[in-house]
Amino acid sequence: MEGGSRADGRNPNQLRPFTCTGNPLHRAHGSARWAQGDTVVLAAVYGPKSGTRKGENPEKASIEVVWKPKTGQIGRQEREYEMTLKRTLQSICLLTVHPNTTTSVVLQVVGDDGSLMSCAINASCAALAFAGIPMKHLAGKLSIFFSVIPLDFVANKSKAYICCSRD
């Protein structure tokens, strides 16, 4: 943090700029490209398609989430992201409107410079809205850093502070 600015050029109290592009994918029923600074997620929604997965309630719609990392194979962390997103999206969608159907939400990580889960939830919610999936309300997520210690980076270059942050 040379001169009080972050590595990406933002001031300590400045938020990442965000942008949302609706329906950048033409074959999906709805899609969104959500960027928060250099963190970018592309979300695509397919469905509702008839039939539910085994073990799902046929009197309600089901949501399936597929997470595609920027590079490499999907691991334990990405499976956790899928489950968190599935629970979040199931809580906001009206699942009784289209019973015995499945809606697939596919997320492709394009760039990750922090706040990835926030970006993914925002992109998913926007893609569902562009697909016309009935929802009770919209979900939004943000990541916040809060310090009880005044952070004067210019005056305290030699001191290190340990602070907690949860995304």
Spacing of C-alpha 156 from chain mean position? 35
pLDDT score at 120: 95
Which parts of 69-115 fold into alpha helices (H)? 76-92
Distances (CA, A) of 134 to 81, 90, 98, 160, 163: 23, 11, 9, 48, 40
| pLDDT score recorded for residue 4 | 65
Query: What is the helix (H) or strand (E) element at residue 122, kind and residue range?
Result: helix 116-131
Ranges in the chain, pLDDT < 50: 1, 157-167
- pLDDT given at position 56: 80
pLDDT at 146: 55
The per-residue pLDDT for 124 is 96
pLDDT of residue 163: 45
pLDDT for res 164: 45
pTM value > 0.75:
yes
pLDDT at site 137: 87
* pLDDT, position 150: 57
% of the chain residues with pLDDT over 90: 58
pLDDT for res 8: 72
| Mean pLDDT, the chain, whole residue set | 84
Neighbouring CB atoms inside 10 A of 37's CB total 19
Tell me the CATH architecture of domain 2-131.
Answer: 2-Layer Sandwich (3.30)
Rounded Cα–Cα distance for residues 166 and 143 (Å):
7
